[in-house]
Structure 1
Amino acid sequence: MNEFYPEISPFNDFLLAVDEQHKIYVEQCGNPDGQPILFIHGGPGAGCSTNDRRFFDPEKYRIILFDQRGCGRSHPHGCLDNNDTSHLVSDIEQIRQHLNIEQWHVFGGSWGSTLALVYAQTHANSVISLVLRGIFLARDIDTNWTFSGGGATRIFPDYWQEYLSALPAGESQPGVHTAYNLMTGDDKALAMKVAKAWSIWEIRCCTLIPDQAFVDAATGDKSAWTLARHEAHFMVNDCFLKPNEILANCDKIENIPTVIVHGRYDIVCPFDNAWLLHQQLPNSTLIASEASGHASIEPNTKHHLIAATQQMLEI
């Protein structure tokens, strides 16, 4: 079973001004002369963690991580202005150009898989390979499954009820738009209460086996504020994508070597997301991570992701 590579520290980090308002945090780890690989975090709004560096052999990879607009160590924190999918794709390309990288491997999980796919479909010539985990196709059906009383709420009704209890009494439409309006309203205490409840609901659903330490690490006030508000911001705007855009544009990336790893029992992003993507990318490799949910840290999923990054070194 593949385990994380040892903990490492960046050999370089900086803030990159991508427009007059936003500065995004970028770091580089591993071998400065290694094969470049970009890690794209989830959420939107989650930011990167130190473990995200550890899916890659630091002796062979030049590992690039960044915090997307308004989250993690990027500035201004929590900012939703000019924060949409096309801007994030542009930011990724600015990072590549700033680092003088001609082509790179791209690794993304959950929302990171969404952004990786849109980036690759926009800049296919910049991408050597894709390693994708926990696919989120950003369709209405995918958003509703988790956040508008869909299937996930039937599997975890107790968790869902705890989320609902954070909403104001009498709230009859506990969907994404309601939560977004509350989290962007003038009542900051209520906004934080809903953001915390949203984040705890989602993160509790991420692992097949309950993992309170995992929940606690991802739902502190600062993390919950950006995770919940950014996710709701993107979801009320259909992730700033056309209907079924990702699947419709798969012909643009059909020749990019792609490995898809998806937890068989993923409740946040059901397995059919990965299955449908694989049907549109018949040259891709689809790996069902058995006994796994949505999280990248679950043993089987971690094993398959590390194996995939080792495989991509041979391209």
Structure 2
Amino acid sequence: MASKGVSPEVNTSLYADIEPYNTGFLKVSDIHTVYYEQSGNPDGHPVIFLHGGPGGGTSSKNRKFFDPQFYRIILFDQRGAGKSTPHACLEENTTWKLIEDIEKLRTHLQVSEWLVFGGSWGSTLSLAYSESHPDKVTGLVLRGIFLLRKKEIDWFYEGGAAAIYPDAWEPFRDLIPESERGCFVDAYHKRLDSSDKETQYAAARAWTKWEMMTAHLLPNEATAGRGDDDKFCLAFARIENHYFVNKGFFPSDSYLLDNLEKIKHINTVIVQGRYDVCCPMMSAWDLHKAWPEADFREFVGIVLSAENIEGI
């Protein structure tokens, strides 16, 4: 049954740090090779963690969401992100290719079915994957809901969130000449796809810093500092922008909501922070209304704890 309002008595602590017992690289196409790792209980219930961005890559902190005694924890870096190669590559990089990669990884690891866990863009990909392969999913945990609709992109990149973070918005805005400010996503795409590397890096830093500055309810220097890491910024900004320019490669704006009937039988928890600026509450609320059978949990804040933003 769907819960109502704020969930008051929920354990928001994370599990202890652990190391992988297995790491590897899986060649998924002539161009792309993805990094994966396994940790926790090798004989436990498989769970796959789908990171955010797209382009954010995974982090060791992502393992801490899961009880290592119960779960076989599987993380992987999506095409062009993290340790996957080639770095920041946009060629053959679409939602549907990522779904194929998840299936190739599942087969490679000899997993018959698994729990799917994703936040932010990871929630988008979790829904898209589950709607494509509902028979492979034992359950869904979705946090910080992002449905990749135009109104969500416009909210964050075309001036809506600027009303809350004007100080962080101005450097993002000011990189673009006034004549090109009709669509910031397109203006940044032009620069992130430039043949000049410094133009790419300048745009990538500005794009990433804007998102990292808004990722916490209170300022977080560690997250904001990721905007100074050129390697991270290039993959994060280029891949994210590439997906947004192409509308997630979905055939319609409401594709994920329109296909919920395929997965409504799957046990699902939706976790949303009311004051999440990157993934505003309206998206989780729309998903909740379309899927009242899912367990909906709202928190006063952004997600569950500051550490949860790692690998946004």
Count of aligned positions: 298
Q: Distance in 2 between matches of 1:249 and 1:172?
A: 34
1:178 to 176, 187, 199: 187
In structure 1, the gaps of 5 or more residues are 303-315
Q: What is the Cα deviation at residue 297 of structure 1? A: 3.7
SS at match of 1:167: coil
| Bigger mean CA offset, 124-133 vs 155-164 | 155-164
- Which residue is 1:309 aligned to? none
Q: What is the Cα deviation at residue 24 of structure 1? A: 0.3
- In the alignment, is the contact (CA less than 8 A) between 2:90 and 2:242 conserved in 1? yes
Q: Distance in 1 between matches of 2:293 and 2:111?
A: 26
- Residue 140 in 1 paired to residue 135 in 2? no
- Which residue is 1:298 aligned to? 306
1:219–1:289: structure 2 CA closer, same or farther, 3 Å change rule?
farther
1:157 to 162, 166, 190: 166
- Which residue is 2:268 aligned to? 258
1:262–1:218: structure 2 CA closer, same or farther, 3 Å change rule?
farther
* Structural mapping, 1:112-131, within 5 Å: 112-131=122-141
SS at match of 1:89: helix
Structure 2 counterpart of 1:144, one-letter code: D
Q: Distance in 1 between matches of 2:51 and 2:227?
A: 13
Structure of greater relative contact order (alpha carbons < 8 Å, 6+ residues apart): 2
2:244 to 231, 235, 239: 235
Q: Deviations over 1:93-150 (max 9, x none)?
A: 111111111110000000000000000000000000000010001111111111122x
Q: Distance in 2 between matches of 1:218 and 1:284?
A: 35
Structure 1 counterpart of 2:33, one-letter code: K
- Which residue is 1:81 aligned to? 91
Q: Deviations over 1:246-300 (max 9, x none)?
A: 000000110100001111001111101001111121210111111x12x56437x
- In the alignment, is the contact (CA less than 8 A) between 1:127 and 1:256 conserved in 2? yes
SS at match of 1:134: strand
- In the alignment, is the contact (CA less than 8 A) between 2:23 and 2:35 conserved in 1? yes
Q: Distance in 1 between matches of 2:209 and 2:49?
A: 24
Q: Deviations over 1:172-212 (max 9, x none)?
A: 43510110111111221121111101101011111111111
- Residue 35 in 1 paired to residue 45 in 2? yes
1:172–1:102: structure 2 CA closer, same or farther, 3 Å change rule?
closer
- Which residue is 1:191 aligned to? 200
- In the alignment, is the contact (CA less than 8 A) between 1:134 and 1:274 conserved in 2? yes
Q: What is the Cα deviation at residue 54 of structure 1? A: 0.5
1:5–1:219: structure 2 CA closer, same or farther, 3 Å change rule?
farther
Structure 1 counterpart of 2:62, one-letter code: D
- In the alignment, is the contact (CA less than 8 A) between 1:164 and 1:174 conserved in 2? no
What is the TM-score of this pair, normalised by structure 1? 0.91
Structure 2 counterpart of 1:152, one-letter code: A
1:115–1:296: structure 2 CA closer, same or farther, 3 Å change rule?
farther
What is the TM-score of this pair, normalised by structure 2? 0.92
1:170–1:108: structure 2 CA closer, same or farther, 3 Å change rule?
same
Q: Distance in 2 between matches of 1:55 and 1:45?
A: 20
- Residue 244 in 1 paired to residue 257 in 2? no
Q: Distance in 1 between matches of 2:102 and 2:12?
A: 29
Structure 1 counterpart of 2:110, one-letter code: N
- In the alignment, is the contact (CA less than 8 A) between 2:181 and 2:187 conserved in 1? no
SS at match of 2:145: coil
Structure 2 counterpart of 1:73, one-letter code: K
Q: Distance in 2 between matches of 1:296 and 1:74?
A: 28
Note the aligned Cα RMSD (angstroms): 1.6
1:236–1:69: structure 2 CA closer, same or farther, 3 Å change rule?
same
Q: Deviations over 1:31-74 (max 9, x none)?
A: 10000000000000000011000000111100000000011000
| Bigger mean CA offset, 69-78 vs 204-213 | 204-213
SS at match of 1:53: helix
* Structural mapping, 1:48-127, within 5 Å: 48-127=58-137
- In the alignment, is the contact (CA less than 8 A) between 2:12 and 2:304 conserved in 1? no
In structure 2, the gaps of 5 or more residues are 1-10
